[in-house]
Structure 1
Amino acid sequence: MKRVGTLLLRGVLAVVGSSIGMTASAQLDPLAPLPESRSPPTQQLVPVVPVATSLAPQVSTGFEAYRQRLTYIARSGGISEATIAAIVPYLQLNNRVIRLDRGQPGAVGNTSYTPPFAPYRREHVTSDLINRGQSRYRDLWPWLSRVEQRTGVPASVMMAIYGHETSYGSVTGGFDIIEALASLAYEGRRRPLFESEFVAGLKLIDMGIPRWRLKGSYAGATGYPQFMPSTVIRLRADGDGDGKAEIWSNQVDGLASIANYLKDAGWKAGVPWGIPVRVPSILDRNSIRNTVAATECPRVHARHSRPMTMAQWRALGVTPYSQSIPDNETATLLEPDGRGQTAYLLTGNYKAILKYNCSNFYALSVGLLANAIVGR
């Protein structure tokens, strides 16, 4: 009986072996003659692996799975298949980018405390920044004057933002912004923003900008103006008239792009960003309190008074130190170092600077550096 079982088993193996051989031959050469029906040598038998183990789908997790979504949103955003195939499958999660983003001031912890402005001013409106800004201003004035006439934005303000953002081009950031934006999108704190900017970054590559050029900050800002990719696409400008808008190596193009950004943000020609003023000790702050919450940067604008015309401020005893604002222009009052210290009346052009970076200290120091560059 054992002998019969063995013979039956050999017969089954012979049939299976013939079927396997026929399938392989048919795939390689459909016109080949059928193989002879004989049992294969024992050593050619392949161990049977359970189907559930060999064919079970591998489920991607974490960033590996998220790359599938990046492919989807890139394709939905009209990115070429060549760019998607060359970049998305090879993206890696940059944990340093995520740590830096989470460590931003205000990202965690108590955000109600506001330090005085004076220490920030000493650090960001330095004699070094002023001197280097003045030198660049003089050297580039022939081009910057034309940009100023075209946009209405003072060249000194362009230069001050350039100095603040990149120390006049010397510190533009070394992060691969495509990888940084993908990592920040995956982290999820501001996913819609960073997914949109990731697609815009790929679009820049589709437009012919090489990936090695797209270096910048961990937050995805790039070039001399430190623009996010969507802003690069929309607002970079040709400042020297050579037909290019090269914001990574051409200072004039970078400065013209800054002016273009401020103009788009509502800059009004012929009006200062703000002026330092004296505030009388008897001023009733409650009477000028702003009761309307701003839709953008509410915490920043919460420190400002309600807007009033320069003529109304004069009537309250608020007086400029030197430069003034036209009487019909509206301005808000900000006392960044508290009562009894220098205060500022701030115009709509100050709000344009805030769109660049939503921080009172940033916008004030940009304005004051701009004033110092032109000796005001």
Structure 2
Amino acid sequence: MLSLRLSALALALCAAPLAAQTAPPSSGSTVTDTGGSLTQDAAFTSFVAGLRSRAIAEGVKPETFDRETAGLTFNPKVIRLDRAQPGGTLNSGPPGPMEFAAYRRSHVDQAHIDKGRTLYQTLSAQLARNEARTGVAGKITLSIFGLETGYGVYTGDFDLIRSCATLAYEGRRRELFTAELIATLKLIDRGFTRAEMKGSWAGATGYPQFLPSVYLRIAADGDGDGKADIWTNKADALASIAAYLREAGWKPGAPWGVAATVPANFDRAAVRTPLVSPRCPRVHARLSKWLTIAEWKARGLVISGFPAPADDELARLLEPDGPGMTAYLLTTNYGSILDYNCSNFYAMSVGVLSDAIAR
């Protein structure tokens, strides 16, 4: 599942185009500058070469930049996949019905649950150490691992350097992907090989599907061998996911959310949030304003799941399948999952799968 990190991938896929930057035409056509006509490949090569001084100034070895960018070509498939992402009118107006049930059946399926339960037992000591260090529940980190890459089965086969360079050249998020290209080169300088750092078309890599800059910021050594290897080492990947969620504000000891029943005469307008989130506004528009669990109970909601948050815990209401179906009261920890991937479908799947794994 393609991930949408707050500090990286969310911006990569959701940010508005930069008005001052013009996307190049498709492969095989020409672009014109003050010097005349250049083929797209020549323009791409010139663009990448122009990044050399910045990369070196930011700590990349000159020989690394020269070696890894030699012969680099534009990848039109990356741009096609990028432009196929939801956008435009889909991001305007009030959100429509979420219809989570169908999504849940295909993502929180028995195969994910069964394999997650097996790993929950096998990796119990590692998960417990991570939780003791970060406060992040082990079942949550394992659930993210499962949903991101099928517990490590599929991590992507795109060359990160080519993908990041292509997206930087394309221009709509030039600064973001230029930085990710440089971060990838820094990882090579740290000893990781280009071949092992394959990933998604959008630059997400490894078991946690981090962008390279996210790895540089928070990757953790989970097994004490002195290296944070998120590509082949489950312990390091799980420790890194826990580190990410801790940085995103995870509250130790609190659940992600809990199932609840909403009374038939419930006044939903009275709990509608007046706030507009500066990030992923349509995602947050589905969530109510914040009330304590005690206040939700006073409004007639009945907790039907386990474990129930404390009465003084703040939570937002989400009815992912509409009125009359199972609702959820979501704590601040749900917000940390949204930070990892700003999608209610994703965050709900992480929570539901985590509970099934630990059951």
Which interval holds the TM-score relative to the shorter structure? 0.7 to 0.9
2:322 aligns to what?
338
CA distances 1:172-219 after superposition (whole Å, capped 9, x unpaired): 111111111111111122222111111111111122211112111111
2:26 aligns to what?
none
Kept in 2, the 8 Å contact 1:67–1:89? The answer is no
SS at match of 1:189: coil
CA distances 1:5-59 after superposition (whole Å, capped 9, x unpaired): xxxxxxxxxxxxxxxxxxxxxxxxxxxxxxxxxxxxxxxxxxxxxxxxxxxx897
Aligned equivalents of 1:185, 1:58: Cα separation in 2: 22
Kept in 1, the 8 Å contact 2:74–2:166? The answer is yes
Aligned equivalents of 2:294, 2:220: Cα separation in 1: 38
Kept in 2, the 8 Å contact 1:70–1:88? The answer is no
Instruction: Describe how 1:1-376 pairs up with structure 2 within 5 A.
Output: 62-104=43-85, 106-108=86-88, 110-111=90-91, 113-323=96-306, 324-375=308-359
SS at match of 1:110: helix
Aligned equivalents of 1:202, 1:59: Cα separation in 2: 30
Whichever residue aligns with residue 313 of structure 1, its letter is W
* Shift of residue 241, structure 1, vs aligned partner: 1.8
Aligned equivalents of 1:84, 1:322: Cα separation in 2: 53
SS at match of 1:172: coil
Aligned equivalents of 1:352, 1:98: Cα separation in 2: 29
1:13 aligns to what?
none
Distance change (3 Å), C-alpha of 1:70 and 1:305: same
CA distances 1:153-190 after superposition (whole Å, capped 9, x unpaired): 11111110000000010101111111111111111222
Aligned equivalents of 2:98, 2:285: Cα separation in 1: 15
- Give the TM-score of the pair, scaled to structure 1: 0.81
Whichever residue aligns with residue 43 of structure 2, its letter is G
Kept in 1, the 8 Å contact 2:97–2:321? The answer is no
Larger fraction in helix: 1
SS at match of 2:70: helix
SS at match of 2:59: coil
SS at match of 2:90: coil
- Larger RCO, structure (CA 8 Å, separation 6 or more): 2
Whichever residue aligns with residue 355 of structure 1, its letter is D
SS at match of 1:137: helix
Whichever residue aligns with residue 231 of structure 2, its letter is W
Kept in 2, the 8 Å contact 1:305–1:333? The answer is yes
Distance change (3 Å), C-alpha of 1:109 and 1:302: closer
Which has more radius of gyration?
Answer: 1
2:6 aligns to what?
none
CA distances 1:106-129 after superposition (whole Å, capped 9, x unpaired): 135534544411111011100010
* Shift of residue 67, structure 1, vs aligned partner: 1.6
Whichever residue aligns with residue 295 of structure 1, its letter is P
Aligned equivalents of 1:138, 1:265: Cα separation in 2: 26
1:15 aligns to what?
none
Whichever residue aligns with residue 138 of structure 1, its letter is Q
TM-align CA RMSD: 1.6
Structure 2 segments unaligned to the other structure (5+ residues) = 1-34
Kept in 2, the 8 Å contact 1:102–1:108? The answer is no
Distance change (3 Å), C-alpha of 1:114 and 1:176: farther
Aligned equivalents of 1:320, 1:259: Cα separation in 2: 27
Kept in 2, the 8 Å contact 1:160–1:366? The answer is yes
Q: How many residues align?
A: 318
Whichever residue aligns with residue 102 of structure 1, its letter is R
Kept in 2, the 8 Å contact 1:178–1:214? The answer is no
- Give the TM-score of the pair, scaled to structure 2: 0.85
Aligned equivalents of 2:183, 2:268: Cα separation in 1: 45
Whichever residue aligns with residue 110 of structure 1, its letter is L
* Shift of residue 146, structure 1, vs aligned partner: 1.1
Whichever residue aligns with residue 348 of structure 1, its letter is T
Whichever residue aligns with residue 101 of structure 1, its letter is D
Whichever residue aligns with residue 339 of structure 1, its letter is P
Aligned equivalents of 1:248, 1:343: Cα separation in 2: 37
CA distances 1:77-122 after superposition (whole Å, capped 9, x unpaired): 2321111111223211111111111112x13553454441111101
CA distances 1:213-267 after superposition (whole Å, capped 9, x unpaired): 2111111011111110011111111111222211111111111111111111110
Structure 1 segments unaligned to the other structure (5+ residues) = 1-56
Whichever residue aligns with residue 328 of structure 2, its letter is Y
Kept in 1, the 8 Å contact 2:148–2:209? The answer is yes
- Range with bigger deviation, 132-141 or 80-89: 80-89
* Shift of residue 372, structure 1, vs aligned partner: 0.1
